[in-house]
Amino acid sequence: MGMTVQEVQNLIAIFNDIDLSCSGLINLREFYFLLDTPQNKYTSAILRFGAHKTDPVKLDIDDFVRIVCTFVLMSQTDIYRLCFDTFDEDDSGIKDEFVVMCDSIQIKGEGFFQGNFRKAMDTFDANHDGLLDFPEFIEMNRKFPLVFWPLFHFQETVQEKTLGKRVWAKIHARQLKIDAWRNYMTRFLGRAPPLTWQERWCGCISKDHRLRLIAAQLYDQDQLRLKIQQQLPRAGHEKDGKPTQSIPRGAFAKTTSSNTPKHAKTT
Protein backbone atom coordinates (compact mmCIF):
# COMPACT_ATOMS: atom_id res chain seq x y z
CA MET A 1 0.00 0.00 0.00
CA GLY A 2 1.28 3.47 -0.84
CA MET A 3 1.15 4.88 2.68
CA THR A 4 4.02 6.77 4.26
CA VAL A 5 5.26 6.06 7.78
CA GLN A 6 3.77 9.35 8.97
CA GLU A 7 0.33 8.46 7.60
CA VAL A 8 0.39 5.09 9.36
CA GLN A 9 1.44 6.81 12.59
CA ASN A 10 -1.48 9.23 12.23
CA LEU A 11 -3.88 6.28 12.01
CA ILE A 12 -2.29 4.72 15.09
CA ALA A 13 -2.68 8.04 16.93
CA ILE A 14 -6.41 8.04 16.13
CA PHE A 15 -6.68 4.53 17.56
CA ASN A 16 -4.78 5.54 20.70
CA ASP A 17 -7.10 8.51 21.22
CA ILE A 18 -10.03 6.08 21.38
CA ASP A 19 -8.17 3.51 23.50
CA LEU A 20 -8.32 5.53 26.73
CA SER A 21 -7.49 2.50 28.87
CA CYS A 22 -4.33 1.78 26.83
CA SER A 23 -5.40 -1.86 26.54
CA GLY A 24 -4.58 -2.10 22.84
CA LEU A 25 -8.26 -2.79 22.09
CA ILE A 26 -11.30 -0.67 21.29
CA ASN A 27 -14.88 -1.86 21.29
CA LEU A 28 -17.14 -1.59 18.27
CA ARG A 29 -19.28 1.09 19.90
CA GLU A 30 -16.23 3.36 20.11
CA PHE A 31 -15.28 2.48 16.54
CA TYR A 32 -18.64 3.44 15.05
CA PHE A 33 -18.81 6.51 17.29
CA LEU A 34 -15.55 7.65 15.68
CA LEU A 35 -17.06 7.09 12.23
CA ASP A 36 -20.26 8.88 13.27
CA THR A 37 -22.22 6.02 11.72
CA PRO A 38 -24.82 3.64 13.17
CA GLN A 39 -23.90 -0.02 13.25
CA ASN A 40 -26.11 -2.13 11.01
CA LYS A 41 -25.69 -5.12 8.73
CA TYR A 42 -23.98 -3.16 5.96
CA THR A 43 -21.70 -0.99 8.10
CA SER A 44 -20.74 -4.11 10.06
CA ALA A 45 -19.70 -5.83 6.82
CA ILE A 46 -16.39 -3.94 6.79
CA LEU A 47 -15.35 -5.84 9.93
CA ARG A 48 -14.64 -8.86 7.71
CA PHE A 49 -11.48 -7.08 6.56
CA GLY A 50 -9.98 -7.58 10.01
CA ALA A 51 -7.96 -10.70 9.34
CA HIS A 52 -6.77 -11.05 12.95
CA LYS A 53 -10.13 -10.30 14.55
CA THR A 54 -10.63 -12.75 17.42
CA ASP A 55 -12.95 -10.78 19.71
CA PRO A 56 -16.44 -10.24 18.17
CA VAL A 57 -16.93 -6.91 19.96
CA LYS A 58 -13.41 -5.44 19.97
CA LEU A 59 -10.68 -4.42 17.53
CA ASP A 60 -6.92 -4.28 17.99
CA ILE A 61 -4.64 -1.82 16.20
CA ASP A 62 -3.87 -4.21 13.32
CA ASP A 63 -7.55 -4.83 12.63
CA PHE A 64 -8.33 -1.12 12.89
CA VAL A 65 -5.69 -0.12 10.33
CA ARG A 66 -6.52 -3.01 7.99
CA ILE A 67 -10.28 -2.37 8.06
CA VAL A 68 -9.99 1.38 7.51
CA CYS A 69 -7.35 1.17 4.77
CA THR A 70 -9.11 -1.62 2.87
CA PHE A 71 -12.54 0.01 2.90
CA VAL A 72 -11.59 3.60 2.06
CA LEU A 73 -9.53 2.48 -0.96
CA MET A 74 -12.20 0.22 -2.44
CA SER A 75 -13.41 0.99 -5.94
CA GLN A 76 -17.04 1.57 -6.83
CA THR A 77 -17.40 -1.97 -8.16
CA ASP A 78 -15.78 -3.38 -5.02
CA ILE A 79 -18.33 -1.58 -2.86
CA TYR A 80 -21.18 -2.94 -4.97
CA ARG A 81 -19.72 -6.43 -4.57
CA LEU A 82 -19.35 -5.98 -0.81
CA CYS A 83 -22.98 -4.90 -0.52
CA PHE A 84 -24.24 -7.66 -2.82
CA ASP A 85 -22.35 -10.41 -0.98
CA THR A 86 -23.35 -9.09 2.43
CA PHE A 87 -27.05 -9.47 1.77
CA ASP A 88 -26.88 -12.47 -0.53
CA GLU A 89 -25.01 -14.78 1.83
CA ASP A 90 -26.61 -17.95 0.47
CA ASP A 91 -26.01 -16.98 -3.19
CA SER A 92 -29.72 -17.21 -3.87
CA GLY A 93 -30.18 -13.71 -5.31
CA ILE A 94 -33.73 -13.52 -3.91
CA LYS A 95 -35.12 -10.01 -4.28
CA ASP A 96 -36.50 -9.89 -0.76
CA GLU A 97 -32.92 -9.97 0.52
CA PHE A 98 -32.27 -6.71 -1.30
CA VAL A 99 -35.38 -5.17 0.22
CA VAL A 100 -33.84 -5.92 3.62
CA MET A 101 -30.59 -4.44 2.34
CA CYS A 102 -32.21 -1.14 1.42
CA ASP A 103 -33.80 -0.92 4.84
CA SER A 104 -30.43 -1.57 6.46
CA ILE A 105 -28.58 1.15 4.56
CA GLN A 106 -31.34 3.58 5.49
CA ILE A 107 -32.66 4.54 2.11
CA LYS A 108 -36.26 3.78 3.07
CA GLY A 109 -38.11 6.81 1.72
CA GLU A 110 -41.73 7.88 1.69
CA GLY A 111 -43.47 6.32 -1.30
CA PHE A 112 -40.20 5.30 -2.95
CA PHE A 113 -39.38 2.11 -1.10
CA GLN A 114 -42.87 0.68 -1.16
CA GLY A 115 -43.41 0.57 -4.91
CA ASN A 116 -40.69 2.14 -7.00
CA PHE A 117 -37.79 0.11 -5.67
CA ARG A 118 -39.58 -3.19 -6.24
CA LYS A 119 -40.53 -1.96 -9.70
CA ALA A 120 -36.88 -1.13 -10.40
CA MET A 121 -35.81 -4.62 -9.34
CA ASP A 122 -38.47 -6.17 -11.56
CA THR A 123 -37.28 -4.05 -14.48
CA PHE A 124 -33.68 -5.23 -14.16
CA ASP A 125 -34.56 -8.86 -13.63
CA ALA A 126 -33.65 -9.46 -17.26
CA ASN A 127 -34.25 -13.21 -17.30
CA HIS A 128 -37.44 -12.96 -15.20
CA ASP A 129 -36.40 -15.72 -12.83
CA GLY A 130 -37.42 -13.84 -9.70
CA LEU A 131 -33.77 -13.44 -8.75
CA LEU A 132 -31.27 -10.62 -9.03
CA ASP A 133 -27.71 -11.60 -10.01
CA PHE A 134 -24.68 -9.35 -9.71
CA PRO A 135 -24.68 -7.98 -13.31
CA GLU A 136 -28.36 -7.07 -12.94
CA PHE A 137 -27.56 -5.50 -9.58
CA ILE A 138 -24.78 -3.40 -11.15
CA GLU A 139 -27.05 -2.26 -13.97
CA MET A 140 -29.73 -1.20 -11.50
CA ASN A 141 -27.17 0.88 -9.61
CA ARG A 142 -26.11 2.63 -12.82
CA LYS A 143 -29.68 3.52 -13.70
CA PHE A 144 -30.62 4.58 -10.16
CA PRO A 145 -27.41 5.99 -8.59
CA LEU A 146 -29.22 7.82 -5.80
CA VAL A 147 -30.71 4.59 -4.49
CA PHE A 148 -27.36 3.36 -3.21
CA TRP A 149 -25.80 6.73 -2.49
CA PRO A 150 -25.54 5.87 1.27
CA LEU A 151 -23.02 3.15 0.43
CA PHE A 152 -20.53 5.67 -0.91
CA HIS A 153 -21.45 8.27 1.68
CA PHE A 154 -20.34 5.78 4.34
CA GLN A 155 -17.00 5.39 2.58
CA GLU A 156 -16.56 9.17 2.43
CA THR A 157 -17.42 9.44 6.12
CA VAL A 158 -14.71 6.91 7.03
CA GLN A 159 -12.23 8.91 4.95
CA GLU A 160 -13.15 12.22 6.59
CA LYS A 161 -13.11 10.83 10.13
CA THR A 162 -9.63 9.31 9.77
CA LEU A 163 -6.95 10.96 7.61
CA GLY A 164 -9.21 13.14 5.48
CA LYS A 165 -10.36 12.79 1.88
CA ARG A 166 -7.39 14.72 0.48
CA VAL A 167 -4.81 12.44 2.11
CA TRP A 168 -6.67 9.29 1.10
CA ALA A 169 -6.81 10.57 -2.49
CA LYS A 170 -3.00 10.86 -2.50
CA ILE A 171 -2.67 7.37 -1.02
CA HIS A 172 -5.03 5.99 -3.65
CA ALA A 173 -3.00 7.62 -6.43
CA ARG A 174 0.17 6.01 -5.08
CA GLN A 175 -1.58 2.66 -4.84
CA LEU A 176 -2.65 2.87 -8.47
CA LYS A 177 0.98 3.48 -9.49
CA ILE A 178 2.15 0.49 -7.48
CA ASP A 179 -0.54 -1.74 -8.98
CA ALA A 180 0.29 -0.56 -12.52
CA TRP A 181 4.02 -1.25 -12.10
CA ARG A 182 3.30 -4.59 -10.44
CA ASN A 183 1.09 -5.63 -13.35
CA TYR A 184 3.72 -4.44 -15.84
CA MET A 185 6.38 -6.61 -14.16
CA THR A 186 4.04 -9.59 -14.20
CA ARG A 187 3.32 -9.08 -17.88
CA PHE A 188 6.96 -8.63 -18.88
CA LEU A 189 8.51 -11.33 -16.66
CA GLY A 190 9.95 -9.06 -13.98
CA ARG A 191 11.17 -6.27 -16.22
CA ALA A 192 10.86 -2.88 -14.50
CA PRO A 193 8.77 -0.20 -16.22
CA PRO A 194 10.76 2.53 -17.99
CA LEU A 195 11.67 5.55 -15.90
CA THR A 196 9.78 8.79 -16.37
CA TRP A 197 11.68 11.99 -17.08
CA GLN A 198 11.01 13.15 -13.51
CA GLU A 199 12.63 9.99 -12.16
CA ARG A 200 15.59 10.34 -14.51
CA TRP A 201 16.08 13.92 -13.37
CA CYS A 202 15.61 13.40 -9.62
CA GLY A 203 17.10 9.91 -9.37
CA CYS A 204 16.81 8.12 -6.02
CA ILE A 205 15.33 11.18 -4.29
CA SER A 206 12.17 10.84 -6.37
CA LYS A 207 9.08 9.81 -4.41
CA ASP A 208 8.30 7.29 -7.12
CA HIS A 209 11.55 5.47 -6.37
CA ARG A 210 10.11 4.18 -3.08
CA LEU A 211 6.91 3.12 -4.84
CA ARG A 212 8.94 1.18 -7.40
CA LEU A 213 10.68 -0.69 -4.61
CA ILE A 214 7.30 -1.56 -3.07
CA ALA A 215 6.00 -2.78 -6.44
CA ALA A 216 9.14 -4.90 -6.87
CA GLN A 217 8.73 -6.46 -3.43
CA LEU A 218 5.09 -7.27 -4.15
CA TYR A 219 6.07 -8.80 -7.48
CA ASP A 220 8.64 -11.01 -5.72
CA GLN A 221 5.97 -12.12 -3.24
CA ASP A 222 3.58 -12.90 -6.11
CA GLN A 223 6.21 -15.04 -7.80
CA LEU A 224 7.02 -16.88 -4.58
CA ARG A 225 3.33 -17.56 -3.96
CA LEU A 226 2.92 -18.82 -7.52
CA LYS A 227 5.93 -21.12 -7.15
CA ILE A 228 4.54 -22.61 -3.95
CA GLN A 229 1.12 -23.15 -5.53
CA GLN A 230 2.73 -24.96 -8.46
CA GLN A 231 4.70 -27.24 -6.14
CA LEU A 232 1.76 -28.24 -3.93
CA PRO A 233 -0.25 -30.14 -6.62
CA ARG A 234 2.95 -31.82 -7.78
CA ALA A 235 3.64 -33.01 -4.24
CA GLY A 236 0.07 -34.31 -3.97
CA HIS A 237 0.43 -36.43 -7.13
CA GLU A 238 3.62 -38.02 -5.84
CA LYS A 239 2.09 -39.41 -2.66
CA ASP A 240 1.38 -42.78 -4.30
CA GLY A 241 4.67 -44.43 -3.52
CA LYS A 242 6.99 -41.70 -4.75
CA PRO A 243 8.84 -39.27 -2.49
CA THR A 244 7.08 -35.96 -2.16
CA GLN A 245 8.90 -32.87 -3.28
CA SER A 246 9.32 -30.36 -0.51
CA ILE A 247 10.08 -26.69 -0.82
CA PRO A 248 13.85 -26.19 -0.56
CA ARG A 249 15.16 -24.76 2.66
CA GLY A 250 15.88 -21.07 2.28
CA ALA A 251 13.51 -20.62 -0.68
CA PHE A 252 11.82 -17.70 1.07
CA ALA A 253 15.10 -16.03 1.89
CA LYS A 254 16.49 -16.45 -1.62
CA THR A 255 13.40 -15.01 -3.24
CA THR A 256 12.88 -12.07 -0.95
CA SER A 257 16.55 -11.17 -0.64
CA SER A 258 17.20 -11.08 -4.37
CA ASN A 259 18.15 -7.39 -4.32
CA THR A 260 14.77 -5.79 -4.83
CA PRO A 261 16.30 -2.49 -6.05
CA LYS A 262 17.35 -4.19 -9.29
CA HIS A 263 13.75 -3.89 -10.47
CA ALA A 264 14.03 -0.14 -10.19
CA LYS A 265 16.62 -0.06 -12.98
CA THR A 266 15.83 -0.02 -16.64
CA THR A 267 16.94 -2.92 -18.81
State pLDDT tens for residues 183-236. Answer: 999 999 888 888 877 777 776 666 778 888 888 999 899 899 999 988 887 665
Name the 3-class secondary structure at 49.
helix
**Whole-structure pTM value:** 0.69
74 CB-near residues (< 8 Å, 6+ apart): 82, 155
Segment 71-124, tens digit of pLDDT: 999 998 899 888 888 876 666 655 555 656 665 555 444 333 444 555 666 666
Segment 63-84, tens digit of pLDDT: 999 999 999 999 988 998 888 8
Name the 3-class secondary structure at 248.
coil
DSSP state letters, 61-121 = HHHHHHHHHHHHT--HHHHHHHHHHHH-TTS--BHHHHHHHHHHTT---TTIIIIIHHHHH
d(C-alpha 171, C-alpha 68), whole Å: 13
- Which amino acid, 198? Q
d(C-alpha 124, C-alpha 19), whole Å: 46
- Dihedral over alpha carbons 6, 11, 16, 19 (to 10 degrees): -170
By the 8 A CB rule, do 131 and 125 touch?
Answer: yes
d(C-alpha 48, C-alpha 70), whole Å: 10
